[in-house]
Structure 1
């Protein structure tokens, strides 16, 4: 997904992980921050809306609702959404998804896996598979439609990052969903057509910004703030909601 112009403002929101209250507060801060600004305004969500936190189902409901007035909302896929979809398509992978927070997602839809397993005399994994088959169709359609990247002339927005030393057109979906940066530098701006990489996925105590990349996953589900980066033509700014 790409546009050939720079919007007036872009706000990139880090990993939500079921933290609906923080998402609502951050969105309100974004709206206030952009008050009176004309031109195109975009909120880019960098993926990982589900798992670990308490309100995954309602987070998806929120993202399916209209964006704030005057804004366009773009939602990208995160590795947790990819794992849920994998579990839907290949039940043998369900246990792996549950192990990294999927249980909290199913609980957010009102299901108690342990109770189901006891009541129906089935295993916990089988109970999860039955719940997955009952997820609301609009939620599944939303997850399946999520793109893995969004590009503007100046920036590449992805969930996780890019594989070092690989040109943008050669990056796989797996690269964009799972890469963790171990240094300040990504693949090199020349390989990314001069773009700065904006990502979440790797939790940092404070948001990080350099000319090459910006990271906005500050661990909202751990009790830390939910962070957004603001790109408005000047130095990157950060907004947070506790």
Structure 2
């Protein structure tokens, strides 16, 4: 992840499409990139419960996690163990695939992709499963780590990782890890774009949905007509952000 300036977005004229809205009777708690910070996750949970008590939903409420549960922070395995039960803060939960989970799954199939993953926090995930590097050549070391992770990874954790969704469409909202490529139907979006896109997505205006996403770290959550950006870099800042969306409105919870 890298930081991105959104100043130019604030200067653009508001697009002409009607404001996006969730289906009636639905509230969504969308949670940004956790990145191995179990402490942040466990702090956010009671904040969501308090919000529900303060203003009970008129219908259904669900949680959507934006991906990147693992890497960088120290608690990747513990986080997966919490999330695999598919409930959070007493609510049913859905889970998007992030580029970091995608990298981990690719590493489990091919040790040669290890260096790219390790350079972006993968070693922290290995350590959380008790997998440590040993001596030897680079190739043998990567294969040793791959085998070690495959043996240490509980089947329920791998099943969870392999079940993660690429996108979730609810009414006029699109939930996706990184963003979308403007001008393409969701079914024609490239997997790489959904997981990694930045510049082309942020340059787009009058998008067909209000896109809720993480992936790109920003200092403060950003809510515009086209986007809700909620990756506030929890692994480094200790701030995990949740967007509370109901109808056309969106508010921010942080922990």
Q: Same fold (TM over 0.5)?
A: yes
Query: 1:43, 1:73 within 8 Å by CA — same for their partners in 2?
Result: yes
Aligned to 2:49: 31
Shift of 1:172: 1.7
Q: Which runs of 4+ in 1 moved over 3 A?
A: 4-7, 121-124, 181-188
Cα 1:47–1:127 change in 2 (3 A) is: same
Instruction: Indicate which of 114, 127, 130 corresponds to 1:107.
Output: 127
Aligned to 1:188: 206
Aligned to 2:62: 42
Quick check: 222-231 or 160-169, which moved more? 160-169
Cα 1:234–1:137 change in 2 (3 A) is: same
Quick check: 25-34 or 150-159, which moved more? 25-34
Measured in 1, the distance between the counterparts of 2:155 and 2:90 equals: 28
Measured in 2, the distance between the counterparts of 1:65 and 1:97 equals: 26
Aligned to 1:233: 247
Alpha-carbon deviations, 1:23-46, whole Å to 9, x = none? 111121111101233411010000
Query: 1:162, 1:187 within 8 Å by CA — same for their partners in 2?
Result: no
Aligned to 1:204: 218
Query: 1:75, 1:146 within 8 Å by CA — same for their partners in 2?
Result: yes
Measured in 1, the distance between the counterparts of 2:204 and 2:253 equals: 24
Flag structure 1 segments of 5+ consecutive residues without an equivalent: none
Measured in 1, the distance between the counterparts of 2:62 and 2:239 equals: 21
| TM-score under structure 2 length normalisation | 0.83
Shift of 1:7: 4.7
Instruction: Indicate which of 90, 100, 113 corresponds to 1:80.
Output: 100
**CA root-mean-square deviation:** 2.3
Aligned length: 231
Cα 1:187–1:141 change in 2 (3 A) is: farther
**2:24 is the alignment partner of 1:10:** no
Instruction: Indicate which of 86, 106, 124 corresponds to 2:141.
Output: 124
